[in-house]
Amino acid sequence: DYSVDEDLTCVHRLENDGGNNEIDIAGSENQYENENNEVIPINLENNENPAATTRLRKLQESSQSSEPPQYSLTLPTCQNLLPALLPQNNRAWFFLGDSQMGKLVNHLAKQYPHPMTAIRSARDRRCGFLDYCYLDKSPEWNKPKWNQGPTKYGLENPFCSDISSAGNRLMESVVVSSDPNTAEEHEDARFMEFLIVDYTSDVEQQSVFTETTQETAVLHMANQLQLRGLTYEDSVCVVNAGLHDEKICANFDEEHCIKIYQGNVRVYLNMLHHVCGNILWVSLTPVMESGNFSHRRNVELVGMNEGARMALRKFENGVFLDVWEATGGFEHVDDAHFEEVYYQELAGLFANLM
């Protein structure tokens, strides 16, 4: 159990609903479960990832033991509590999301506590995802299913994102030191990377190996870790998605929209679990409701947050970072985004963990 002073309570165990938490590894690291508990291939052909097998084996063992400790956090009272839940000094940090996450990473780049020795960005922020990942495009771009994005620009322009305000970005730090006794050189390499994943399920970035952007991101992340001799245990994945998902279910009522979202989140989390030693899901934040964005409703976003929180209970390495109330002290600059100081303060939380 994890307890804190009642006046500062921002961490609590996510209660298990008594459901089946067994993980069916089905003898393959390239599979995951969808919302109907069906085993679906990730379709990462020609991509060896031994860490995934180890991860799934540990998952199976943990599912047969006691309930894993999972937590929900809010800012800013959790500034000193989050480090207690995440391993320190992780070498790989992945940030996946839309322009909200992009703004966070922009500020985090200024606060990154390690000397940057390399920076790489997508040449084309909107349509250069696959080139950035050194992956070939699928010969044929398949349109999205009823529960998938894209819904706007990416739908009319294959292999492009619905949003244009952010793009993939890598910041790396490599420091070489020498052992004074042996003169042997030691390389300390670490990095953080931002990937544009603006839905919980979409087909914007289809490669020759993958069918969805989420699969493509996972493949790229696995390659990044393998390239540097790292494993999933070295990585933390900070994830947020949902504001654009409301467009997917604009024609559904609130209950069905939340179910669609939660189903997509479950599949997304099962994929991420192959490459993420720790998953930190950042909650959705309030929007300014208006006629211009009628598909965005706060009451629906609250339900979607709860859906993501429930989906995260399955993972012993999952932490839900609830920033809904924390945004109350900041002004909106448009229907979805806040003034820059909000992202700056949130970035400071992650900088302290790095």
Indicate the SS3 state at residue 176. strand
pLDDT in tens, the chain (354 residues): 333 333 333 443 344 443 332 222 222 333 434 444 444 443 333 333 344 334 334 433 443 444 444 445 455 556 666 777 777 779 999 999 999 999 999 999 999 988 888 899 999 999 999 999 999 999 999 999 999 999 999 999 999 999 998 899 999 998 776 666 766 777 778 999 999 999 999 999 999 999 999 999 999 999 999 999 999 999 999 999 999 998 888 778 888 889 999 999 999 999 999 999 999 999 999 998 876 655 568 889 999 999 999 999 888 888 888 888 888 888 999 989 999 999 998 898 898 888
User: What is the CB-side half-sphere exposure of residue 7 using CA atoms within 13 A?
Assistant: 0
Q: Specify the pTM.
A: 0.79
Rg (CA), the chain: 20
Dist. CA 269–CA 279, nearest whole Å: 8
DSSP 56-108: HHHHHHHHTSSPPP-EEEETTTTTTTGGGTS-SS-SEEEEEESHHHHHHHHHH
Dist. CA 165–CA 126, nearest whole Å: 8
Check: CB of residue 213 under 8 Å from CB of residue 225: no
Which sign does the torsion angle of CA 20, 22, 25, 30 carry? positive
Check: CB of residue 279 under 8 Å from CB of residue 94: no
> Of 59, 61, 252, nearest to 146 (Cα)?
252
